[in-house]
A = this chain, B = another copy of it.
C-alpha cells in the first residue's frame, strides 16, 4: 500500500516519560466522529505507553523536519530521549497529557476509543478531540495548503516530497457526463 504519509506520533506514560514515534502506517478511518487508526508492532516502546494512557497525538512534520523525523524512526525511546536529542520542542496539548511537537505545523490530539489485536500488531483507533494548525500553513479558506505545509511520504525505505496540484474534486465530472 502506498503512498503512506509520514507522521510523528507522541505519547506520554504515567511516569511522565514522553516519546516520539515516526509513523507511516496510519489512516483516517471515519468522519462522524473523526477517527484515526494507528497499527503498532506490539514490541515497540510506544505501544505499551499508548495502551496505558489511552491517548496519542499525531503531529505532521514538514520537509524542514525530515532529518529529525528519520532519526526518530531509527532509534527506540527505550534508549534515548528523542525530544531532547532531536531538538523538537514540547508544547502542552489541550485535551490530552502527551505533548505536541511545536515544530510540526499540524497536531491532532486523539483519545483511544477502540483497540484490536491484529496478529503481531496492536491497532489503536483514536477519536480526534482537538486539532491545531499553524496559521502559516493555511490557505484563504482555512484549509491546509499543501505547498506551505510540505508534508512528505514514505515508500519502502524512501522519503518523497509532494509535487503539484493536479486538479480539484469533481473536475472530471463534465467529461463523463456527456
Q: Which A residues have a C-beta under 8 Å from some C-beta of B?
A: 1-5, 7, 24-33, 35-39, 41, 58, 60, 63, 66-68, 70-71, 73-75, 85-86, 106, 108, 113-114, 116, 118-121, 123, 125, 143-144, 146, 149, 151-173, 175-176
Q: In the assembly, what is the distance between CA of A25 and CA of B74, in Å?
A: 27
Q: List 9 A-B contacts (CB under 8 A).
A: A4-B28, A25-B28, A71-B176, A74-B173, A75-B173, A123-B125, A143-B155, A159-B169, A161-B164
Asked if B3 and A167 make an inter-chain contact with CB atoms under 8 angstroms apart, the answer reads no
Q: Tell me the dominant secondary structure on chain A's binding face.
A: strand
- Nearest-neighbor residue (CB-CB) of A85 within chain B: B176
Asked if A162 and B3 make an inter-chain contact with CB atoms under 8 angstroms apart, the answer reads yes
Q: In the assembly, what is the distance between CA of A66 and CA of B169, in Å?
A: 10
Asked if B29 and A119 make an inter-chain contact with CB atoms under 8 angstroms apart, the answer reads no
Q: In the assembly, what is the distance between CA of A66 and CA of B164, in Å?
A: 13
